Amino acid sequence: MHRAFMATGTALGIAWAAQQGQAADDLVVAEFDGDSYAPWTAAGDAFGDGPARGALPGQMSVSGFKGKGLVNSFRNGDAATGVLTSPPFVLQRRHLSFLIGGGANAEKLALQLLLDGRVVRSATGGNSQPGGSEDLAPGSWDVADLAGKTVVLRIVDDATGGWGHINVDHVVQTDRKPAGLIRDAARDVTASHRYLLVPIKTGAPKRVVTLSAGDHVIVRNDVELAPGAAEWWGVMDVGPWRGQSLRVTVDKLPEDSSGLASIRTSDTVPDAATLYREPLRGQLHFSPQRGWNNDPNGMVYFRGEYHLFFQHNPYGWAWGNMHWGHAVSRDLVSWTELGDVLMPDVYGPMFSGSAVVDWQNTSGLGTDGKPPLVLIYTAAGNPTVQCIASSTDGRTFVKYPGNPILPQVTGGNRDPKVLWHEPTRKWVMVLYVELPGRGHTVHFYTSPNLKDWSLASVTDGVRGSNYLYECPDFFELPVDGNPRDKRWVLAGANTEYAVGTFDGTRFTPGHSRLPGQRGKGFYAPQTFSDIPARDGRRIQFGWFQTETKGASFNQSMTLPLVLTLTSTPEGPRLAYNPAKEIQSLRQRGRVLRNVTVGTRSTDAPLDLGEAELLELSAEFEHGQGSVEFVVRGAVIRYDDERQEISVQGHKAPAPRRGSRQRITVFCDRTGLEVFASDGLCYVPMPFQPAPDDRHVLVRAPGGPRRLKQVALYPLRSIWHQPR
Ligand code: FRU
């Protein structure tokens, strides 16, 4: 492509090209990728000195522009006004095309083409309502009648209120008619197969894709709809509408996009052959087949299965379109993903929540003597409310027709965790509520039937500290396993917690907040409800923030963790240990007892061999210096003097237990989980080892070191377990 200002074409030249039926090369008028607007000139304060690189402070994310920059008149906010003017140039192609976004106001927010000072063409942005999108859309003018004329472009921002800005990029002279946008493009698809497949390309402009049956909107999602070849396919189970005609509508579809046309139904999923074998797929950690996950939700043991629901975006690599995904396991280790059970509805997207088995059918949602499994979730629309859904088979879930069961307290209320409190024979709900003036609080509600709730108490921060932000969990644990010494634990999404007492209505913490896990990329954990008494464990999964760029899936869950309360000189503290079920993944290992690492003259490492997925553990007495593990390139070092562990440079206190320390490391393709100090120190750490580095070593910097035991177990993948 040539730069228009340097091009020397003439009107005659264009006429000739047109006669020959040839399309001449496009001429770029402006790309707005540099530091300044030159040779364009800006007046006023809406445009600043040069192009923006995307969104400006306080602006929603801006997409749809080309290259590094764009014109964005949100500089200094919506109130600022100004004009940006091009130098004169000659029209040498049939069309002038551009990308445009921002507010819709033909008079005050416009890209204008001027001939002799008169406006001969004009275009504006697409947003007239609050909300909307900062996505730039293609636009063009047929300028054949102005061929050979010298013109000027002007971008005007004379608007000051909401959506008082305009975005422009990539102005090009072209002979090929640029594709326009079709509004509300629709197609009818018969649900003749089980799945509806939606083509996705991560990074493509988001389109609002609505699926409806007759007048009933089934679901509406924001989808990075692939304009051409799909990078991956979003999969929706349309089994419930089998045989019916469904309408798919796309809010803005470029004329040349194949995104709507290629939506189809199928009984198979396109990625079946590679699923769970993808190079970046965590092999020890649950992750959704496709799309994004965040918080674990609705964790419950029901009819012989562990149920793991999760915050799921089935149609995007990043957060959005919150559904509840669903997977089940009989052993906590290998999981079968069953498909989404809660889809966004008129109350909003499906945010986090919990699940309980209503053994006595207090809710009346059970049938034929079967107790219902009840999901309690946040519908995060406006207002944001709490709702329930139920199932008697653990497969099909029905939203309760009487929803919502709790009206909005404030817009920042969410993540209900419900439990049965036997002494008062009531259901208790802990709900995160952001209260103006009081910050983050937890509201305690009680109910006889999961449907009618009354406020029982509100935490005042715990001891004044407003740390309990989002996703509260609340459970009782014995101290050191002693059934006569039980305490209540109230924890927030970042795992900080308090230990205290609970009388069925009010939690009284024994101290101010305590730190939970000590690593990175761990958030919003939840513990299982209804684990049988004969097991009695408090089992937790956290959201493990293991980013997998370029994959069709993103994020995962941690290993199953068993939480206990362990006495320490400072009082009882939470300990995290890997659930024993993970041992079922062990393959033939190497166990060394009473080995010495290094000698007085060399610090030669102890080479433990190679493994891809692995569990490494070492036990040693107090000594000099440090013990260091190199696990597939990751460095985990225990400093004996400081009683501190460092995982990839991230430090955490790891007190000796008596005279002894024991460290266990799990390594997957996407992360490490390190346990020390009998679980009092748990350090999760997202990490991607180089695929060909499988080496595992132990070193003893600072002198030879005797280890009571070192064990390395290669592990099997959780995805290929015999069921
Ligand atoms: C925590 C959280 C919750 C919310 C959910 C939405 O990660 O922000 O508070 O319910 O994610 O996906």
Which of these, 579, 622, 574, 614, lies nearest to 697 by C-alpha position?
614
Pair (395, 310) in one structural domain: yes
Please answer whether residues 159 and 167 qualify as being in contact, where contact means their C-beta atoms are separated by less than 8 angstroms. no
Measured between its terminal Cα atoms, the distance across the chain in Å is 59
Spell out which residues line ligand 1, taking CB within 6 angstroms: 294-295, 311, 322, 351-352, 378, 414-415, 470-471, 493, 523-524
| 217 Cβ neighbours under 8 A, 6+ residues apart | 210, 211
Over residues 40-53, mean pLDDT: 97
Q: Is 295 a catalytic residue?
A: yes
One domain, residues 292 and 427 = yes
| Rounded distance from Cα 352 to ligand 1 centre (Å) | 6
Helix or strand holding residue 188 (H, E): strand 181-190
Residues 348, 403, single domain; the answer is yes
CATH code for the domain of 677 = 2.60.120.560
Instruction: Evaluate if residue 83 carries a pLDDT over 50.
Output: yes
What whole-number distance in Å separates Cα of residue 44 and Cα of residue 79?
11
> 77 lies in a domain?
yes
Among 68, 29, 9, 67, which residue's Cα sits nearest to residue 155? 29
The pLDDT value given to residue 34: 95
Q: For residue range 546-561, what is the model confidence (pLDDT) as tens digits?
A: 999 999 999 999 999 9
Taking phi first (over 0 means left), then psi (-120 to 50 degrees means alpha), and beta for anything else, what does residue 555 get? left
Q: Confidence band (pLDDT; 50, 70, 90) for 702?
A: confident
- Residue among 351, 431, 555 whose CB has most ligand 1 atoms within 8 A, to mutate: 351
Together in a domain, 45 and 168: yes
Tens of pLDDT, residue by residue over 397-429, are 999 999 999 999 999 999 999 999 999 999 999
**Does residue 274 lie in a domain region?**
no
Within a 10 A sphere around the Cβ of 239, how many other Cβ atoms?
Answer: 11
pLDDT of residue 32: 98
Please check the confidence at residue 196 and state whether its pLDDT lies above 90.
yes
CATH of the domain at 12: 2.60.120.260
Distance of CA 515 from the midpoint of ligand 1 (Å): 20
Strands 27-30 and 2-3: parallel
* Ligand 1 centroid, distance to 351 Cα (angstroms): 6
Answer yes or no: do 169 and 187 share one domain. no
**Cis status, amide bond into 404, omega within 30 of 0:** yes
In a domain, 694, yes or no: yes
Q: How far apart are CA 396 and CA 374, in angstroms?
A: 11
Using alpha carbons, select from 521, 554, 540 the residue that is nearest to residue 684.
521
| Gap from CA of 296 to ligand 1 centroid (Å) | 10
Distance 222 CA to ligand 1 centre (A): 18
Q: Which of 137-141, 436-440, 694-698 has the lowest mean pLDDT?
A: 436-440
pLDDT at position 2 is 39
Domain finish residue from 578, 597, 613: 578
Give the three-state DSSP class for 231.
coil
Residue among 604, 606, 583, 602 nearest 594 (CA): 606
Atom of ligand 1 nearest to the CA of 353: 10
Range 562-573 average pLDDT: 96
Looking at the predicted structure, is the pLDDT value of residue 513 above 90? no
Ligand 1, atom nearest to 415 Cα: 10
Return the best residue to mutate from 432, 470, 523 for the ligand 1 pocket (most ligand atoms within 8 A of CB): 470
Q: Kindly state whether residue 273 falls inside one of the protein's structural domains.
A: no
Reduced to 3 states, what is the DSSP secondary structure of residue 202? Answer: coil
- 600 versus 350: the higher-pLDDT residue is 350
Least confident of 123-137, 259-273, 547-561, 675-689: 123-137
End-of-domain residue from the set 174, 197, 218: 174
| Percentage of the chain lying above the pLDDT 90 cut | 88
Kindly state whether residues 690 and 549 are assigned to the same domain: no
* 9, pLDDT greater than 90: no
Strand partners, 651: 646
Do 400 and 547 fall into the same domain?
Answer: yes
Of 180 and 592, the structure prediction assigns the larger pLDDT to: 592
Which is the catalytic residue, given 157, 169, 175, 295? 295
**What one-letter code names the amino acid at 202?**
T
Q: Please state the rounded mean pLDDT for residues 172-192.
A: 94
Q: Which atom of ligand 1 is nearest to the CA of 311?
A: 12
What domain range is 590 assigned to?
A: 580-714
User: Which range, of 10-24, 103-117, 305-319, averages the lowest pLDDT?
Assistant: 10-24
694: pLDDT strictly greater than 90: yes
Distances (CA, A) of 554 to 288, 311, 670: 8, 12, 10
Indicate whether 606 pLDDT > 50. Answer: yes
- For residues 317 and 320, give the distance between their C-alpha atoms in angstroms, rounded to a whole number: 9
Measured from the Cα of 470, ligand 1's closest atom is 9
Domain membership flag for residue 276: no
Same domain, 398 and 253: no
In a shared domain, residues 191 and 74: no
Domain for residue 695, yes or no?
Answer: yes
Nearest CA to ligand 1 atom 12: 351
Which residues are paired to 457 by β-bridges? 444
Which atom of ligand 1 is least distant from the CA of 432?
9
How far is residue 598's CA from residue 701's CA, in Å, rounded to a whole number? Answer: 8
pLDDT band at 464 (very low <50, low <70, confident <90, very high): low
Q: pLDDT by residue (tens digit) across 442-463? A: 999 999 999 999 999 998 755 5
Last residue of a domain, one of 146, 174, 202: 174
User: Does position 467 have pLDDT exceeding 70, yes or no?
Assistant: no
- Work out the pLDDT band at 278, boundaries 50, 70, 90: very high
246 domain residue, yes or no:
yes
91 domain-assigned = yes
Residues 338 and 215 in one domain: no
- Tell which atom from ligand 1 comes closest to the C-alpha of 543: 7
What is the CATH number for 448?
A: 2.115.10.20
> Range with the lowest mean pLDDT among 69-83, 129-143, 515-529?
129-143
Distance in Å, CA 108 to ligand 1 centroid = 39
Residue from 297, 386, 414 to probe ligand 1 pocket by mutation (most atoms less than 8 Å from CB) = 414
Number of domains in the chain: 4
My answer on whether 72 and 144 are in the same domain is yes
pLDDT: which is higher, 625 or 636:
636
d(CA 486, CA 472) in angstroms, rounded, equals: 19
**Best of 322, 352, 495, 555 for a ligand 1 pocket test (most atoms within 8 Å of beta carbon):** 352
- Please tell me the distance between residue 703's alpha carbon and the centre of ligand 1 in angstroms: 48
Q: DSSP letter for 532, please.
A: -
Kindly report the average pLDDT of the chain as a whole number: 94
Residue 592: which pLDDT band, with cuts at 50, 70 and 90?
A: very high
What share of residues in the chain are helix, strand, coil (percent, to 5)? 5, 50, 45
At residue 617, the pLDDT reads: 98
Residues 338 and 463 both lie in one domain: yes
pLDDT at 24: 86
Residue 13 has pLDDT above 90, yes or no: no
pLDDT of amino acid 511: 78
The mean pLDDT value for 460-478 works out to 79
The percentage of the chain sitting over the pLDDT mark of 70, rounded to a whole number, equals: 95
